[in-house]
Structure 1
Amino acid sequence: MSLLLALDLGTESIRAGAFDEHGVLVASAQADYPTRFPRPGWAEQSPEDWWSATLTTLGEISSQIGDRPISGVGLATTASTVAVLDGQGRSLRPALLWMDARAHAEAGRTTRVTHPVMRYSGGGDAAEWLVPKAMWLAVNEPRVYAAADRIVEAVDYLTYRLTGRWVASRMNAVCKWNYSERDGGFPHDLYAELGVPDLAAKLPGEVAAVGAPVGTVLPEVMRQAGLRGAPTVAAGGIDAHLSMLSTGALACGDVSVVAGTSVAHVTQIDEPVFTPAIWGPYPDALLSGRWLIEGGQISGGVLLRWAAETLLGRSRDQGPQLIAEASAVAPGSNGLLVLDYLMGNRTPYRDAKLRGAVLGLTLDSKPAEIYRAAVESVAYGTRNVLQSFSEAGIPVKRICISGGIRHNPLWKQVTADVLGQPIELVTSQNLTLLSGAACAASAAGLFPDLVSAAGAFGAECVTIEPDPALSSLYTEGFELYREATAAVTGVSHSLVDRAVRP
């Protein structure tokens, strides 16, 4: 029997998984690549590193599955990780990683235009998105921008390297490029108003719905990887957004929270809600006829890793011990408050110039207390996002959480306690790969549509109940978190402005 292959290009590594038609994982592999931080708020990677790591994982998959052929390939990547390429698909400069916030001024310009498609993103674009990053390139690296044949997302790059075709994911185009089929496709006049009139010509011209077939893997790639078959590649999408497929979070009121390096919050609604408090409503992003809502915390697990390894000096293998020590600290007993804005804030403040802080430090403050406060900060950020959903009239009935959070027992429990409601935790090893396999199955024709495929590739969950005794304590902490954010905003902006001066 043939297998389905899924690729998940994440922040630090690419993961690959081969699944049978029942959604059983039969082989997996992972390869890392470096990130560079040349200036505060900047983050870059090499697309060539992505491809080298991709081939490494494909080779490892091949060694595990032997002669079993591959019939379909599904792709998921971080969103708004932007590659700048020449006509042969070679990099003209390092890719701007999703968390790169250098385009904050350009994002501010998008809030001052009145084009009708801007209502689909709450009135403006985020600093991480492709359009503001292209605007930044046009102004700050005009020769590179002019020479660029393609300015694309990581998922577009992988699709091209696998198939030789430039085909965009409708999800990425709608959510990150201000594209809307309901309004004529690419907004050429908007791009012109923003100073990048030729941007559409540098994007993939063809746009395909998630799970639609876009081509077959090139024979030379199959030979290089040692794989068998002529698999169909599915139009992929944003890693966190695809999670809705395998969590079954497709009904109005179901929210999928992917808590990993960052934290993404996605849901679908039946009728649009227009408000600057949310990102969206994105028309037809995942499923035709539905509206996708997005929220996000830029610093999730990356903040906890920074706190443990950089701030507190604990090695990665000492992480479990630090988590255990922090779990023994009584909630609210340390008098500490952390703000989680190490790379700015996406939701609900839309402020790329917010910065992190640790408040309440004394000479008696201990590492475990600081770490626990960092965990509580990430949970407060999640509550802030979901509260912005509710205040906008978007139902939040069922919360399904997945990602790296499953490895951190303190983060899991504190999230439930701070939210004050049960959360369903996905226990599957890699939800994004499972969703990618569903896309591959749909593109390969194994199911009549993407929803049917998703039903066959569902994830298993366990329920984590909140501690009701902590409700008032964490509500007070959450209000202090919001009060502190308002208090430090002006200082954060001034510090960012000082940091970027020559």
Structure 2
Amino acid sequence: GIGVDTTGSSPMPVDSSGTPLALHPKFKDNLNAQVWLWKDHTGYEEAAGITAVAAKMRPAYMAKVGGTYSSEWFWSKIWHCLNVDPSVFDAADSFVEICDYIPGLLTGKTAPNQLARSICAAGHKAMFNTEWGGLPDTEFLAACDPRLAELRGRLYDTAYPSNHLFGGLTDEWAGKLGLRPGIAVAVGAFDAHMGAVGAGVGEGTLVKILGTSTCDIMVSPRQKGFADIPGVCGIVDGSVIPGMIGIEAGQSAVGDIFLWFVNNLVPEIYGRTADEKFINLGRQAAAQKPGEHGLLALDWNNGNRTILVDVRLSGLLVGQSLHTKAHEIYRALVEATAFGALTIINRIEEFGVRVTEIVNCGGLAARNPFLMQVYADITGRPMKVSRSDLTCALGAALFGAVAAGKEAGGFETVEEAQIKTTGIKTTYTPDEENHSVYREMYALYKTLHDAFGTRAWTGNLGAVMKDLITLREKQRRERK
């Protein structure tokens, strides 16, 4: 069978046959008619409007998505499209997530009313929940904009987990792919959620998909139940594993922060190419003790996804001197992303979901041992790395095999497929001495986090720089 994972929320305007508007001559040069990729944050005002309307009319909507609607999600993108380019919105029969469109393309069922929509996309990004009958109701949408309410009837009323069979592969696509016509194509989902399945997610396991950004995925048995978690990116039944509640959190930039730094600020003494610079930065940064650089950063160069859910935040670096080196800044940026990861873990556990194991996957986990060790030292927890370097593809393949079923050579359940195909390659164990220093630094990180990220903070930043200098001096004395 075939499974499909894509980024999301990445909706696309289509006509009544499911043809993307971008393929129409009228819109071929119009970016607004193309896919609105997840990373696009231009709908931040619309996201704030959705949050405000929900707070007044439908607080339950926000409770299931962490309390704040994001500009990275479905409705804010569509509403922004309406506001900046009504011609595209008016020409669209519907808006379709890429993870729904591709299975439709492979099976010859691209018309919006033929698509089996993903519960992963619908629940985490479009406020779909069976508790209130699916998508947000027309009264709520009309309070945002009456034209959104008119669109609702051309969207969908049902959504499915990815073990559900979407359809069979068409002759045309079988010929293009060199596969047998009619083989099973599963309902699609987002890359992070399928990546978590490919990394072996189960109860108590937090899977971190580490790449340009980071997604954190957990599952909890449906019958257990738990409180809504402020600041997460959704709590959705069946979004990861059928029959279990999926929890999503994450950071809007991780690898992208490091790449920005290397491409723009690292001198050639560290190497001529980006790869050479990363190698030398990592080697020299790893030789330092925690706190020895005297630096502390906030990892918000692309906003904050969890727990503040605010794209109107930016990166910060405190503690620079005339002697600060590029590899010291690199270490501070890596540490900042790890402090952000710890903040997410603490929030999830605060609301009753216990994290007993952390499994990492994605490009950074596979290729950056320095980063993995820092994550272990800062969280004080072993950092396991998935056996597969391609967990998103593996997870998608597993869903394809489950949708195909045992008689076709597949599996009956996702859990059965995971037992046969997933595992751990490497484990990074925390250094207790480093962890002790990082506890001090995390307290300072939380001060910066709350001071710059929340309006309610009433503390004092006066000691942060001096505390960093004191720690720097202490660590350098101990090295001597």
Q: 2:83 maps to which residue?
A: 139
- 2: CA distance between counterparts of 1:402 and 1:287? 18
Which structure features the higher share of helix residues?
Answer: 2
Describe how 1:476-487 pairs up with structure 2 within 5 A: 476-487=440-451
Q: 1:290 maps to which residue?
A: 244
TM-score (norm 2): 0.82
C-alpha contact 2:195 2:393 (8 A) present in aligned 1: no
| Residue type of the alignment partner of 2:210 | A
Q: 2:143 maps to which residue?
A: 193
Residues 446-467 of structure 1, C-alpha deviation per residue, up to 9 Å, x if partnerless?
Answer: 2223332233222333221000
Counterpart of 2:428 (choices 464, 484, 493) is 464
Counterpart of 2:233 (choices 279, 283, 290) is 279
Q: 2:472 maps to which residue?
A: none
Say if 1:489 and 1:271 are closer, same or farther in 2 by CA, change over 3 A.
Answer: closer
Counterpart of 2:4 (choices 59, 62, 75) is 75
Q: 1:30 maps to which residue?
A: none
Q: 1:168 maps to which residue?
A: 117
Q: 1:370 maps to which residue?
A: 329
2:260 paired with 1:302: no
- 2: CA distance between counterparts of 1:232 and 1:155? 16
Q: 2:389 maps to which residue?
A: 429
Say which is worse superposed, 481-490 or 209-218, in terms of deviation: 481-490
Q: 1:499 maps to which residue?
A: none
C-alpha contact 2:295 2:320 (8 A) present in aligned 1: yes
| Residue type of the alignment partner of 1:89 | P
Describe how 1:37-186 pairs up with structure 2 within 5 A: 72-87=1-16, 88-91=19-22, 92=27, 93-112=33-52, 113=54, 114-115=57-58, 116-165=60-109, 166-186=115-135
2:330 paired with 1:390: no
| Residue type of the alignment partner of 1:312 | V
Pairwise CA distance, 1:393:
2.1
TM-score (norm 1): 0.79
- 1: CA distance between counterparts of 2:184 and 2:229? 39
C-alpha contact 1:167 1:205 (8 A) present in aligned 2: no
2:348 paired with 1:419: no
Residues 6-56 of structure 1, C-alpha deviation per residue, up to 9 Å, x if partnerless?
Answer: xxxxxxxxxxxxxxxxxxxxxxxxxxxxxxxxxxxxxxxxxxxxxxxxxxx
C-alpha contact 1:298 1:345 (8 A) present in aligned 2: yes
Pairwise CA distance, 1:205:
5.8
Pairwise CA distance, 1:288:
4.2
- 2: CA distance between counterparts of 1:360 and 1:244? 36
Bigger Cα Rg: 2
Describe how 1:301-340 pairs up with structure 2 within 5 A: 301-312=255-266, 315-318=273-276, 319-340=278-299
Q: Which runs of 5+ in 1 are unaligned?
A: 1-71, 492-502
C-alpha contact 2:12 2:20 (8 A) present in aligned 1: no
- 2: CA distance between counterparts of 1:158 and 1:183? 28
- 2: CA distance between counterparts of 1:205 and 1:274? 24
C-alpha contact 1:272 1:281 (8 A) present in aligned 2: no
Say if 1:207 and 1:277 are closer, same or farther in 2 by CA, change over 3 A.
Answer: closer
C-alpha contact 1:246 1:455 (8 A) present in aligned 2: no
